[in-house]
Amino acid sequence: MKYMCSSDIFRKKKLILICIIFAFMLSACADPSNKETAQPVSNEETAQPADKRTEAPDSDEVLLYKEALKDNASPGEDNNYEITQVRRGDFKYEMFAIGSVEYRDLYYETMETEEAEIVEYKVSTGDKVNKGDVILEYNPVYDEASYKQRKAAIEQQEKEYAAGYDTRRAEIIKAEHELKEIKDDNEKEIKRLEIEKLKLALKKYQETSDDLARQKADLAEYSEGMKKTKIVASHSGYIMELAQTENENILYKGNVVAVISPKKDYCIKVNDTTHGMLRYNADVTISVAGKQGGADIQMPGKVVMCSNILTYGNTTEEAYVEILDEPKGVDWSGAIKIYFESKALNDVLLLDSKAVLFENKSEGSNAVSVPYVYIYKDGGIFKRYIQVFGSNNKDYLVLSGLDEGQEVAVYNK
- The residue-averaged pLDDT of 300-308 equals 85
Higher pLDDT, 356 or 58: 356
**pLDDT tens digit string along 111-120?**
988 888 899 9
**Coil, strand, or helix at residue 380?**
strand
Q: Is pLDDT at 84 greater than 60 in this prediction? A: yes
pLDDT attached to residue 312: 58
Q: What is the pLDDT of residue 137?
A: 92
pTM of the predicted model as reported, rounded to 2 decimal places: 0.48
Q: Which helix (H) or strand (E) holds 389?
A: strand 387-389
Distance (Å, whole) CA 308 – CA 407: 41
Range from 18-27, 204-213, 275-284, 384-393 that averages highest in pLDDT: 204-213
pLDDT of residue 48: 36
How many other CB atoms sit within 10 Å of the CB of residue 172? 17
User: Distance (Å, rounded) from C-alpha 128 to C-alpha 130?
Assistant: 7
State the Cα–Cα distance between residues 372 and 352, nearest whole angstrom: 13
Helices marked H in 182-284 = 185-206, 209-225
DSSP 278-327: S-TT-EEEEEEPPSTTSPPEEEEEEEEE-GGGS-GGG--SEEEEEESSPP
Closest CA to 258 of 101, 140, 137: 137
Per-residue pLDDT tens over the stretch 241-277: 998 766 578 898 889 999 999 998 999 998 876 666 7
Section 172-184 average pLDDT: 91
- CA-based torsion, 148, 149, 150, 152: positive or negative: positive
Q: What angle do CA 214, 218, 224 make, to 5 degrees?
A: 145
* DSSP assignment string, 323-375: ESSPPTT--TTS-EEEEEEEEEEEEEEEEEGGG-EEEEEEETTEEEEEEEEEE
The more confident residue out of 65 and 385 is 385
Local confidence band at 40 (pLDDT 50, 70, 90 cut-offs): very low
Share of the chain above pLDDT 70, in %: 76
The sheet with strand 237-242 has its strands ordered as 107-110, 256-261, 237-242, 128-129
pLDDT at 205 over 60: yes
User: Contact, 372 vs 385, CB < 8 A?
Assistant: yes
Of the listed ranges 30-34, 210-214, 223-227, 229-233, the one predicted with least confidence: 30-34
User: How many Å from the N-terminal Cα to the C-terminal Cα in the chain?
Assistant: 69
